[in-house]
Structure 1
Amino acid sequence: MQQLAQPISNTQERLLNLLLLLTGIGLTQSMIIGGLNFSYADIGFLGLFILLVYQHQLKIPVVLTAFFLLIFILRGIVSVWYLPLITPQVTLNIVPSILKYSLIALYFLVGFSLAQLSRTLVAKLLRYFIWSNVVIGLFGIAISLLNLSSVFPQLFTAFRYRGLMNDPNYFSMLQLMSVPLINYFYPEQTSLRRTANLILISSALLSGSKSSLFGLGSLLLIYSLLTLIKSFRHGQNLKLLIISLTAGLFGLIGYLWRTTIVSTMTFIGQQNPALERISSLFFTDNPLSGSGSGRTDAWHHAFELLKSTNGLGIGFNDYGQVAYLLFGSPVIAHNTFLQIAVEWGLLFSLLFFSYLAWQVLRGLVHRDSLTLALTISLLICLTYFLSISLNNSRIFWSFLGFWIVYLNQTKGGTLPYEDFNYYGHPQR
């Protein structure tokens, strides 16, 4: 661990560990208070921020800070001057959005500073996070198997398990984001790792989130591609042939037995409403609008907002209010890419996502195993970006802070895949 600028007392060390515990566990919990999304992690982040400032260890990345300051200025100009010109009926109510924007800066700076300060501190926080998810997931599985959901209604949205989160989709994302981190921390403990992964994936599916199926598919695809690249670099032609033949065989079986597979999935779905909701992806004409999803209209409204503001967005004005005034519906985008585009403007959002895409490519071939695990976790998060609004997500911005540091800490950044095992750890 790097030394703090001022000597740290035993009391401060205990406070630091307590704040890491509160933040790691708090990332698995959220509630709505006064119209704002609150988590105990917010207390942890604020405490860590104050402690980092006190110890002169708050690190500020100059280029990224300048970029986000430019966004702040643009959003302010759009809110106060531009949007009232084209939509005079909009009420200037920008304080909540400014507060949310300030909070994502706090999440990012705390994550960035912790990663600069000590890898051990980040590891502690991540362990608290993943094991909280495992415990919450296991509890949900037990409740569902014992048919006790009515005894714990606060953990469900109708029939959908949401743990301590206020949204089942967000809950399922946290579960799947924990999988690569479990693989990173426990590469040699096969039974523990597989059991934890089974719990995380099963509880994600219990959420009834259609996005969980896409997230799980992304996870499998990423690990499959990493394995293929490793085999190719190693010149393991036989292994490549076996993988290709296996994939082809499964595809052929899926085609020939498609009727049986559909019947089986229908039967499984009938056993649990959450699984039935997920299975509607395969059996409805428009899965984006079926079973309460209603994504297509929300996405259309986002495109119309960009068009009506000439790509400058709505600034700090309330998305729901502007959407209601223009389209008679206060529904937000339910797509983080679109929501950020509408709030930041087209230019800055494209720059940000282009930067993110480049960093993801770097992360997938990075020599550091924790960087690879965080890259996969963030790719799961980006998959969920397509279907829910996570622009103010504390998990995304804090993980982004960790990740940016680790991406740039190792000079040279990449090594051949054959130097690593399946989970990104150096071969012994």
Structure 2
Amino acid sequence: MAINSLPLERKGDTSFLLIIVFVMSLFLNQSNVLFGINLSLSDFIIVGLLVSLIMKQELELPLAHILVFSTFSIVILFYSLFIIPNQYMIAANPLATLIDYTKLLVVFLYYTIGFNLSRLKLTTAFLKGFVIGAVGIGFIGILISFVPIPYLSSIMLFGESRLIGFMNDPNFFAVIQCCALSILLRMKPLNSIIRLGAIGIIVLSIISSGSKSAVILVFLYCGYFLISKATKLKKITPLKAASSLVLVLGLLAIIPTVLTYMDELMAIIVNRFPIFSRVELLFTDFSSAVSDGGSGRAQVWETAVHIINSSPLMGIGLGNYIPIAEQFVHNPNVAHNTYLQLSAEWGIVITVLFFVYVSSTLIGSKPILLENNQANQNRQIIRDILIIFLIASVSISLNNARIFWLVLGMSVFQSKYTHSVNEL
């Protein structure tokens, strides 16, 4: 079913949607647990956006997507409530299953909205709102490191030291900030001073989160970013080549000096940001950094593997992970790995098919020469955010991350249902 990009004809409709998408994007930087569910103010706004699009007859989604989700819902609910409890000799828990299914329903809603944001040429409004929210929260978080503000400090700090912004997990907050970093690096036009200042705030907020996996993620993404930039150079003049060589040699020349004063530099940073002591290990003792201080993933990964081995094809469904995990470990927790978590709940077959589909959108959403610069820029940013989530999924369970599903919906439309999207 082919779907074309349909511009809103009335200026008032366009302005209203731009504002509501911008505000919704701001609040994607916030979520808190209520009644066992992570709730965000963006959830309420997105419902209003959904109703508005329905009333204007502007909400569309390919029938195949609806049928797949409906079929998957029926199968996994039946499996979760009737098959798995008998197989593992556990009591069926309709409430836990309902809570997990509600999460799935919410992220499918975000997927649907993401698809339509691309279709209605509102990707730019989303990106701007999201990055402004991320930079603003990062700035406030850094500010309270210097000037403690009692109310904000109690909300934005985890364990009185790790910055979590307005999220409930420092690692997820850091991943969100990494997504904002990718937008800042790609977005044009943007004043150089504003860009550098905003990037500095984002990087400091990631460090302040104490997330070692996020610091590694930043390095991996920056490497990917530099490689992608280098491969796009159409012509390298002798002057540019000489300048690059001098820059590289200069950096190599100062490395010994930097290493000499590394301990002193680390001490200064740790003194100002105590939580950086967690990240410092990445530079001084990498093996300890990835296993000590609560970062060990071996036990939860091993538990997830046991669950997958016990039900590899269909998984264990929704609401059953913790009670089944208790059969393998005394204090069970989620897998802290999206691939393992989904394989345990959905089964290996569906999980593999899902990520193959996600990967196909990355290939299909590459910039197109016939499109304008804004459209190509947005395609690249959406690809980058998806790549960041796919990398971060190795150490964090991100299967219910709103922005991941929103961006996935955008990527699906860009890659499979249009070849020309001119952004507002």
TM over 0.5: yes
What is the Cα deviation at residue 8 of structure 1? 6.8
AA aligned to 1:405 is F
Normalised by the length of structure 1, the TM-score is 0.84
How is 1:271-286 mapped onto 2 (pairs within 5 angstroms)? Answer: 271-282=272-283, 283=285, 285-286=287-288
Q: Is the 8 A contact 1:97 1:318 kept in 2?
A: no
Structure 1 residue 346 and structure 2 residue 354: aligned? no
What is the Cα deviation at residue 151 of structure 1? 6.4
Partner residue of 2:183? 181
Partner residue of 1:111? 114
Aligned equivalents of 1:254, 1:78: Cα separation in 2: 58
Q: Is the 8 A contact 1:363 1:407 kept in 2?
A: yes
Aligned equivalents of 2:276, 2:31: Cα separation in 1: 24
**Alignment deviations for residues 376-415 of structure 1 (CA, whole Å, 9 cap, x no partner):** 12222222212111111111111111222223455399xx
1:72–1:169: structure 2 CA closer, same or farther, 3 Å change rule? same
**Alignment deviations for residues 240-293 of structure 1 (CA, whole Å, 9 cap, x no partner):** 686578668757875897575466435533542221111223426343331122
Structure 1 residue 394 and structure 2 residue 402: aligned? yes
Structure 1 residue 197 and structure 2 residue 205: aligned? no
**Alignment deviations for residues 130-179 of structure 1 (CA, whole Å, 9 cap, x no partner):** 11111111111222133557862211002011111111112122222112
1:314–1:259: structure 2 CA closer, same or farther, 3 Å change rule? farther
AA aligned to 1:376 is D
Aligned equivalents of 2:175, 2:270: Cα separation in 1: 21
AA aligned to 1:52 is L
How is 1:175-254 mapped onto 2 (pairs within 5 angstroms)? Answer: 175-231=177-233, 233-234=234-235, 239=240
Partner residue of 2:372? none
AA aligned to 1:145 is F
**Alignment deviations for residues 348-371 of structure 1 (CA, whole Å, 9 cap, x no partner):** 111111222233244455551110
Aligned equivalents of 2:249, 2:68: Cα separation in 1: 46
1:61–1:255: structure 2 CA closer, same or farther, 3 Å change rule? farther
Aligned equivalents of 1:296, 1:214: Cα separation in 2: 18
Partner residue of 1:407? 415
1:236–1:407: structure 2 CA closer, same or farther, 3 Å change rule? farther
1:185–1:238: structure 2 CA closer, same or farther, 3 Å change rule? closer
AA aligned to 2:391 is T
Q: Is the 8 A contact 1:78 1:313 kept in 2?
A: no
The equivalent position to 2:324 in structure 1, one of 322, 330, 338, is 322
Partner residue of 1:421? none
The equivalent position to 1:380 in structure 2, one of 375, 385, 388, is 388
AA aligned to 1:378 is L
Aligned equivalents of 1:238, 1:321: Cα separation in 2: 64
1:257–1:313: structure 2 CA closer, same or farther, 3 Å change rule? same
What is the Cα deviation at residue 58 of structure 1? 1.6
Aligned equivalents of 1:209, 1:324: Cα separation in 2: 27
1:356–1:242: structure 2 CA closer, same or farther, 3 Å change rule? farther
**Alignment deviations for residues 87-114 of structure 1 (CA, whole Å, 9 cap, x no partner):** 0124333111111111111110011112
Aligned equivalents of 2:150, 2:170: Cα separation in 1: 14
AA aligned to 1:97 is D
The number of residue pairs the alignment matches comes to 408
Name whichever of 64-73 and 367-376 sits farther off: 64-73
Aligned equivalents of 2:365, 2:263: Cα separation in 1: 37
Partner residue of 1:61? 62
The equivalent position to 2:295 in structure 1, one of 270, 282, 293, is 293
> Structure 1: any 5+ residue segments left out of the alignment?
414-424
Q: Is the 8 A contact 2:27 2:40 kept in 1?
A: yes
Q: Is the 8 A contact 1:104 1:397 kept in 2?
A: yes
Aligned equivalents of 2:351, 2:241: Cα separation in 1: 39
What is the Cα deviation at residue 60 of structure 1? 1.2
Aligned equivalents of 1:366, 1:286: Cα separation in 2: 44
Q: Is the 8 A contact 1:340 1:391 kept in 2?
A: yes
1:189–1:321: structure 2 CA closer, same or farther, 3 Å change rule? same
Partner residue of 1:420? none
Residue 27 of structure 1 aligns to a residue in which SS?
helix
Aligned equivalents of 2:25, 2:318: Cα separation in 1: 29
Residue 287 of structure 2 aligns to a residue in which SS?
coil
Residue 32 of structure 1 aligns to a residue in which SS?
strand
How is 1:21-60 mapped onto 2 (pairs within 5 angstroms)? Answer: 21-60=22-61
Q: RMSD of the TM alignment (CA)?
A: 3.1
Normalised by the length of structure 2, the TM-score is 0.85
> Structure 2: any 5+ residue segments left out of the alignment?
370-375
What is the Cα deviation at residue 190 of structure 1? 1.6
